[in-house]
Amino acid sequence: MTTPDRPKVAMLLYPGLTLLDLIAPHAAFAPTTEVHLVWKTTVPVTSDSGVVVHPTTTFADCPADLDVLFVPGGQDQAPVAADEEVREFLADRGARARYVTSVCGGSLILGAAGLLRGYRATTHWSGIDVLALFDAEYAEGRVVVDRNRITGGGVTAGLDFALVVLAQLLGEDTAKMTQLMLEYAPAPPFDAGTPETAGPELTAMARAGSEAVNRAMTTVAKELAGKGWGGDA
């Protein structure tokens, strides 16, 4: 469905994505933009927590000229980054999109598609070292804006990210109205959202849990080097 006056947003779906990476920004974008959930086919995909979701369009049918190209992270982000059909889709739409964006490990997929070379960006705290393999420069910040690249940190950063993007697309009042409707006045009962506040013990456990994902993405980065993708132009 095309709504001529609304900014066009395409959000990548894939098997093993982290659904909250997608659904937090989606909730913010849906009321005022035209959102497409895009994958190779419209066959439902299973996210990494087991929830099944339906793509609304395919790579072939996705609008060619986008206001926002968005990529979420996920447990299975490495196989997606390794998939040339995915990288070609992202490189094509990313070359013309007004904003090229991601949350969490989605920035590593953008990196594999060659879209972050020479840009400052962020990712989930556990994946920071991998960003450099795609010639992106890690920058501190919950949301990092460098020219038309807008990247958010891990998972829940997608809310802060989406409000930054909405303000760019439609102005601050639209972003604030969206924040009010989502009642986004956060009040976490604990202060453990970063390695610094969670402390070394929980951080070591969490890091062990994301080791396999980062190792797989590192392998992808090395395989792509010298082939015109990823960190190697």
The reply to whether 104 belongs to the active site is yes
CB of 227 to a copy of itself, least distance (A): 31
- Is 132 a binding residue for a copy of itself by CB under 8 A? The answer is no
97 near a copy of itself, judged by CB under 8 A: no
Nearer to a copy of itself, 36 or 93 (CB): 36
With CB under 8 A as the contact rule, the residue among 8, 87, 93, 124 that binds a copy of itself is 124
Long-range contacts of 209-217 (CB under 8 A, 24+ apart): 210/124, 210/126, 210/127, 213/75, 213/77, 213/78, 213/105, 213/127, 214/126, 214/127, 214/129, 214/130, 216/78, 216/79, 217/77, 217/78, 217/81, 217/105, 217/108, 217/127, 217/130
Binding to a copy of itself by residue 150, rule CB under 8 A?
no
From residue 164 to residue 203, the character string flagging contacts with a copy of itself as x (rule: CB under 8 A) and all else as - is: x--x----xx-xxx-xxxxxxxxxxxx-xxxx-xx---xx
Beta carbon of residue 114, minimum distance to a copy of itself (angstroms, whole number): 26
Nearest Cα to Cα of residue 168 among 69, 67, 96: 67
Q: Report the chain's C-alpha Rg in angstroms.
A: 17
Beta strand 149-152 with 143-146 is: antiparallel
Count helices and strands (H / E) in the chain: 9, 11
Yes or no: say if 168 and 99 are a contact pair by the CB < 8 Å rule.
yes
Is residue 105 near a copy of itself by the rule CB under 8 A? Answer: no
Closest approach, Cβ 50 to a copy of itself, in A, equals 7
Size of the site for a copy of itself (CB under 8 A): 63
> Is 20 a binder of a copy of itself (CB under 8 A)?
yes
Buried (b) or exposed (e) across 151-181, using 16+ Cβ within 10 A? bbbbbbbbbbbbbbbbebbbeeebbeebbee
User: Could you say whether residue 91 binds a copy of itself (CB under 8 A)?
Assistant: no
| Contact between 33 and a copy of itself per CB under 8 A | no
Q: Is 139 in the site for a copy of itself (CB under 8 A)?
A: no
Residues forming the active site: 104
Footprint of a copy of itself (CB under 8 A): 18-20, 23-24, 26-27, 30-31, 35, 37, 44, 49-54, 56, 104, 124-125, 142-143, 153-157, 159-160, 163-164, 167, 172-173, 175-177, 179-190, 192-195, 197-198, 202-203, 205-206, 209-210
